[in-house]
Amino acid sequence: MMGSQNRSALIRKLVSSASTTATPPVLKKGVPPLRPGQGHSFFWRRLHSLTGIVPIGAFLTEHFITNAYAIKGPAAYRDQVAALGGFPFILGMEIAFIWVPILYHGLYGFYIWYRGDSNVVEYPWTGNWMYTAQRWTGAVTFFYMGWHVWYLRFTSPYMLENPAVAFGKVQSQMLPHLWAIAFYAAGIFCASWHFGYGLWLFAAKWGITQGPLARRRWGYACFVIALGFMAMGAAIMYTFLTTPQQPYLPTGGELDSFTMR
């Protein structure tokens, strides 16, 4: 009995000695907790989510519908471009409701990508793959839109001021180079996917779809929406590629186009 008590006392003494002499582990300083009223990440992320639907998503929808008039022929496309160009303060509206929101949404999206970590190899979960796909499709769409808008909106001849050249100018960007056709196809696919999944994320983040069942059903609907945009974009591309090239450069002192014949 005495031997057992002595062994217990010795063990306690050794443990006490080790605890007082051992160096405590150094812990890395983590991110401090975000308290109410501190930080702005929630606001900027919600704004990023909102701008992806309004106005960018609304603009994307309008843009697809406008370009779908090309399926009816160059004349119908010319009339639609002329209608858009007839809006008052068109440049100011574009800056306020299209370019600035797209610039913010794109740049903040790159920031989210930079701060995040998808780790699809280590964690090949569906949500992780969707996060990665959303980042990559957003990047492709951002650079595609920059190239697409710069050529069609800011190089001569100007489409809104000269709607008769609109059909031919779109063809001139697409037809001469195979890489341009491939970039068009990639831009349409990525924009459609990014918007479709963005709708799903928006509903989840803003509490519109509550519960796994609602999110699953809305996910099916968003997938159909994305496929619809892809199909519409493919039909529009096919029209521009198969229609004979429409002249769009000034000839003989005036703009000549088959749309005027």
Residue 166 pLDDT level (bands cut at 50, 70, 90): very high
Give the pair of three-digit tokens for residue 155. 């190089």
Task: Give the chain's count of helices (H) and strands (E).
Answer: 10, 2
Phi, psi (degrees; rounded to nearest 5) at 255: -75, 125
Tell me what pLDDT residue 177 has: 87
pTM of full prediction above 0.85: no
For the chain, what are the domain ranges?
42-248
Say whether 254 sits in a helix, a strand or coil. strand
d(CA 221, CA 210): 15
CB 165 within 8 A of CB 89: no
pLDDT per residue as tens digits for the range 98-119: 999 999 999 999 999 998 877 7
CB 245 within 8 A of CB 207: no
Tell me what pLDDT residue 156 has: 85
Phi, psi (degrees; rounded to nearest 5) at 131: -60, -45
For domain 42-248, the question of CATH label 1.20.1300.10 is answered with yes
| DSSP conformation class of 163 | G
Q: Which residue has the higher pLDDT, 63 or 34?
A: 63
- Tell me which residue has tokens 């521009």: 240
Tell me what pLDDT residue 253 has: 42
d(CA 34, CA 45): 15
Residue 12 reports pLDDT greater than 70:
no
pLDDT per residue as tens digits for the range 20-32: 554 555 555 544 5
Residue 121 reports pLDDT greater than 80:
no
Q: Label residue 116 left, alpha or beta by phi (over 0 means left) and psi (-120 to 50 means alpha).
A: beta
pLDDT per residue as tens digits for the range 33-45: 545 445 678 899 9
CB 118 within 8 A of CB 134: no
Residue 260 pLDDT level (bands cut at 50, 70, 90): very low
